[in-house]
Amino acid sequence: MASDPQSVLTVGAVAHRLGVAVPTLRSWDRRYGLRPSAHSAGGHRRYTPDDMERLRRMVALVGDGVPPAAAARVALGEERTPRARRGGGGSGSVAVGRAHQAVRGLSREASRLDVDGVGRRVAAHFTEHGVAATWSDLLVPLLQSLGEAYDRTPERIVPVEHAASAGVLGALHGRPFATERGRLPAMLACAPDEQHSLPLEALRAALAERGVAARFLGPRLPADTLRDSTARLQPTTVVVWAHAAGLARRVPLAEVAEHCSRLLLAGPGWSKVRAARAFDQPESLDEAVDEVMNVAAPTARP
């Protein structure tokens, strides 16, 4: 669909304008069909003004307490406006839907420093919904809320955040691994001194659900080890995570890219690194999975 390039928006721009997280928009696309209908010259999907109006309607309805699935049908013109949930209304309160309730339950377990409780809840969600959906609908909102709480009361939130991370990590480590067949489809690595490894742990597990093998080399990977490991393994795709620009700048991008078919840069740290503009930067776990799947060797696919 051709559109005026000045009138279409990326998912990040839409999220900023609407005050909605990018993973939420991805979830609405996947679950309810509220997807971008235009494409850029490079083939990337973009939101048109009509798409934005539908999303504004969706946000308003959910904010009034309408369940997301019903709100989506109204936003798409499939139904008239349904009645809001009890406790909703025009007061601006946020609807407590199924995903939100799950986040609250997980937060309670973490607040009690119940690592096993967090792990059990997350593992059950993995079984019912899969890793990618659990990450975007449950874990990203949880981690974001903990980050916001940390800014207010860091001394109280640090142990809660550690309990949540440990429980999630345990659940991720309980997911099966995919069998390697032929060339290694993906190597996953954190930037030097990068300690935030959960996103790559989730990516490894989400790829395994699709039958695609990936080797995760862990947090705080030294630059020379990253370079040498890529040269040794010759993976189809390398994904490097960095949450801060200072860490991202320590990655030897050109040397890593030389030994793989594709280099993906994940995490917010790359947005201010000029050299990173030459490489694709997936904005969500779902997008990263799709990007790896697109170039995985046929023998590596299920």
Among the ranges given (56-70, 179-193, 236-250), the one the predictor scored with the smallest mean pLDDT: 56-70
Final residue belonging to a domain, choices 115, 138, 173: 173
179 part of a folded domain: no
Which residue range forms the structural domain that includes residue 15? 1-93
Rounded to whole angstroms, the Cα distance separating 124 from 130 reads 9
Are 167 and 253 within one domain? no
pLDDT digits (tens, 9 = 90+) for 59-96: 777 655 566 777 888 888 876 655 444 433 333 322 33
Final residue belonging to a domain, choices 59, 93, 127: 93
- CB 38, CB 45: distance < 8 Å: yes
Please state, rounded to an integer, the average pLDDT across all residues of the chain: 84
CATH of the domain at 238: 3.40.50.280
What's the whole-model pTM score? 0.67
pLDDT digits (tens, 9 = 90+) for 26-45: 888 888 899 898 887 777 78
Q: Which residues lie closer than 8 Å to 228 by C-beta, 6 or more apart?
A: none
The torsion angles phi and psi of 223, rounded to 5 degrees, stand at -60, -40
Are 85 and 102 within one domain? no
Are 204 and 165 within one domain? no
4 part of a folded domain: yes
